[in-house]
Chain A
Amino acid sequence: MTTLVQALVNALNLGGLYALYALGVAMVFGILRLVNFAHSSLIMAGGYTLVFTASLPLVVRLALTVAVCVALAMVLELVAFRGVRSAAPETMLVTSFAVSMLLSSLAESLFGALPRSTDVDPVFRESWTFGQIYLPKINAVTVVVVVVLIGGLGLFLTRTPAGLRMRAAAEDFATARLLGVAANRVISLAFAISGVLAAAAAVLLLGANGSVTPTFGFNAVLFGLIAAVVGGLSSLRGAVAGGFVLGAASQLLQEALPVGLAPFRDALLFAAVFCLLVVRPQGLIRSGQGVRV
């Protein structure tokens, strides 16, 4: 029983994180059909912002992190992705890969390859214990942040005019433009939202790890990307579902695998993802009319 609850808690935490990464990737993909590897650069930039503002109050640090991530996301869109907007999805994928590698080497040459550590908040290191169940407070923070962000995003998309325009653009970009949706503004907005999600991911990741390297966020985005693909890249619900499925599958494999095979958890997980992509290239949840975003 205890192990079950503990595993459930871990799966929820891991799934929430993956869902957060996956949302950031899917947000941009839904509108632009761009698989944004450079999302990792946003997370990295957020991480370094937290490191360099260590002396400021927490609220200011968080605000600055969000500001930096959003600004960088919009600059990247303007400089790098606007030019390849009409290119094939694979070309855009290579471009975003190049941008993320470029920014991580830039970070390496500016800040060095060694990890820079900082303390986000003491809360992140504490934990509750209920009997035998061990619950780090960061897990609770993660789940709350993820739920708030997903809920907020859902409200924004369904209840505001800007959200309506975004959904229209995701549904059929050409028609939306014909009906007066400003393409540049909608795409910038999508990137800005992905920047907010990246900032949240940076805070949570840094709270758990404690240090930033130039490749910070890269693995996170890789997992997020895979989660988004598992759920169906063009639907945000799919991305969230995919994140939780990947988190649960990862935790399940961790618990269920015999000791000899346990180190191969990631190998099995990604082999399964490979098979899933081959069998269902559109992901677990196929986006139908009207539910794309």
Chain B
Amino acid sequence: MNGLLRRAGGALGVPSALFAGIVVVALLATTGPASLERLAVGGLVNIVLVIGLYVFVGNSGVWSFGHMSFALVGGYVAGLLALPVRLKGQLLPDAPALVRELHAGPFVAVVVGGLVAAVVAVVVAVPLSRIGGLSAGLATVSLLIAFSAVAAQWQSVTRGQKGLSSIPTSTTMPVALGWVLVALLLAWAYQRSSFGIRLRASKSDEVAAAASGISVPVQRGVGFVLSAFLTGIGGALFALQLGSINPDVFYLDYTFLIITMLVLGGAGSLTGAVAGSVAVSALAEVLRRAEGGSLLGLPVPARPGLADVVLGVVLVVMLLRRPSGLTGGRELRLPRRRGERHRPPAVTRDASEPIALAGAVAGAGPETRREDSR
């Protein structure tokens, strides 16, 4: 019994500590004005999207620049489901009956959005998982362009460039936090499962993994579909937060933002994905406020786009100086003292907070694989 508890604690330590950190930051944001809370919810949605990308990129080592296609699919599906039937009749008179008449609550809409994205990913993954490296990266770019073009042209269902609007909004702080927790748990469970470990083996050495009996395409495909599911959820949450979606939101700019977050935190670990998205969201918010004001006593000129310039510089410097990101691809290292394993998780969370920060800043723990090797 004791051993079981210890194992459960060890298994869930990292995601729960990360979640606790996210909750603290999100709650801090709710003390501010309403605009800040809205931004915080947006930040949480981005965390879901980054975790979604991480599940594939972090575990397989293959870069995808086309994941926003799945966010697009998830967003449109959820948006179409959440729109009231009467409104759809006016907005989309030419849509197929199925699209016009089907309606679902916000939770179901988000789940279905994710599932449809996953189904699309199955179709894509069958050919895509055969290739790796640069060809895969470029193939995913062309995928994104194709999806975006469809969203921009399929007038009868997506309303083309006009996009969908007046979707009832339902992504509130608790909803977003709930989905972040789901994403964390799914990503963690996957990377510790035999599937995740096999995929990571193929990342370290594709030939050796194949020689050990691992079917690299199958493992990549599994990771890709799960990752697309989470990205679809993220896209659905985005649509239901903003109340609108159009083909341009999930294009190269958003791809760049999500990749920045992942690279900055360290694409090799879940901790890195979360740390990167929190760090970039916080930095972007600070820069946005500093624009036209002052930062640490220095005057900052008011220039649109300046925040993006600074973000770009930070990313390029990071890639040059520390390509493995803030965390260096390591997971959070929790304190493990004898006899404390069965304490309530709340205590572990509190204790892990400073370590989470220290880990994110210093990035270097002497132990790297302890979580995986047990």
Contact = CB atoms under 8 A, between A and B. Distances in A.
Nearest to B302: A109
Interface in A222-280: 222, 225-226, 229, 233, 263-264, 266-271, 273-275, 277-279
B316 A278 contact: no
B146 A266 contact: yes
Interface string B138-172: 11011101110110011100000000000000000
B99 to A, nearest CB: 18
Interface string A99-122: 101110110111011000000000
A9 interface: no
A109 B63 contact: no
A105 B309 contact: yes
B138 A101 contact: no
Q: Which secondary structure dominates chain B's binding surface?
A: helix
A277 B312 CA distance: 30
A33 B259 CA distance: 21
Interface stretch (B2-10, B125-133, B359-367): B125-133
Nearest to B291: A109
B127 A278 contact: yes
Q: Which of B127, B138, B149 has the most CB of A within 10 A?
A: B138
B131 A277 contact: yes
A106 B309 contact: yes
A102 B309 CA distance: 5
A113 B130 contact: no
A93 interface: yes
A140 interface: no
A90 B134 contact: yes
Contacts of A95: 316, 319-320
A264 B154 CA distance: 8
A93 B63 contact: yes
Contacts of A102: 308-309, 312-313, 315-316
B252 interface: yes
Given A35-B138, A93-B63, A225-B138, A274 B316 contact: no
A153 interface: no
A185 B374 CA distance: 50
B309 A267 contact: no
B305 interface: yes
Interface stretch (A80-88, A158-166, A196-204): A80-88
A278 B142 CA distance: 12
B127 A90 contact: no
A35 B133 CA distance: 12
Nearest to A29: B134
A222 B141 contact: yes
Given A94-B259, A98-B312, A83 B305 contact: no
Nearest to B303: A109
- Residue from A99, A102, A233, A266 whose CB has the most chain B CB atoms within 10 Å: A102
Interface of A: 35, 80, 83-84, 87, 89-91, 93-95, 97-99, 101-103, 105-106, 108-110, 112-113, 214, 218, 222, 225-226, 229, 233, 263-264, 266-271, 273-275, 277-279, 281
3 nearest A-B residue pairs (beta carbon): A102-B312, A105-B308, A108-B305
